[in-house]
Amino acid sequence: MDGQSRNNIYPGLRVSIVQKQDQRSGVLTDGVVSDILTRSPTHPHGIKVRLETGEVGRVQVIESDGSDTTE
């Protein structure tokens, strides 16, 4: 799935984001989407989200939707 399209992102989805202060280094932060902050349907740098931990950043990688039963 693509982190640049809003319709691929929803609360509860496990993602990796890049926070504003980490954009130059590219450090990713893993978490679960709490809120979608980008209002437009797409964004070239990734959809901005708030994680359940309160961190805000743009989605770079979509990990899983939580329905993975392989664990």
CA distance 16 to 29: 5
Mean pLDDT of all residues in 2-14: 93
C-alpha torsion angle, residues 9, 49, 34, 11 (rounded to 10):
-10
pLDDT at position 2 is 80
Longest dimension (CA), the chain: 35
For the segment 21-55, what is each residue's pLDDT rounded down to a tens digit? Answer: 999 999 999 999 999 999 999 999 999 999 999 99
The amino acid at residue 65 is D
Q: How confident is the model at residue 69 (pLDDT cuts 50, 70, 90)?
A: very low
